[in-house]
Amino acid sequence: MKMLDRQRLNYVDICKALGIILVVLGHTYSISETLYIIIYSFHMPLFFILSGFVYNKEKESQYRI
C-alpha cells in the first residue's frame, strides 16, 4: 500500500466549518427571510465544491472490493 504524504488544508476546514454553521443557522426559525435565501443560495454548492476539491481517486479505489 502506498502512503500518500498529504496534510489537511486549513482553509478547506474553515470553509467546511462555516458551511456547517450556515446549515444550522438556516434550519433555525428565527432568521429573516432574506438571510434564509442568502444561506440557501450557496451552502450546498459550497459542500459540493469542497468535496470535489479534496476528492482522491487513489484513496477511493483502495476501498473497493
Instruction: Establish if 59 belongs to a structural domain.
Output: no
| 51-63 pLDDT per residue, tens | 888 887 777 666 6
> How many domains is the chain partitioned into structurally?
1
| pTM (two decimals) | 0.66
Asked if the structure places residue 13 within a domain, the reply is: no
Domain hosting residue 40, numbered range: 19-53
In a domain, 24, yes or no: yes
Decide if 65 is inside a domain: no
C-alpha–C-alpha distance, residues 11 and 27, integer Å: 24
- For residue 44, being part of any structural domain is answered with yes
Distance CA 36, CA 27 (A): 9
Does some domain include residue 41? yes
Task: Round to whole Å and give the CA distance between 50 and 54.
Answer: 6
Asked if the structure places residue 8 within a domain, the reply is no
Tell me: pLDDT of 4 over 80: no
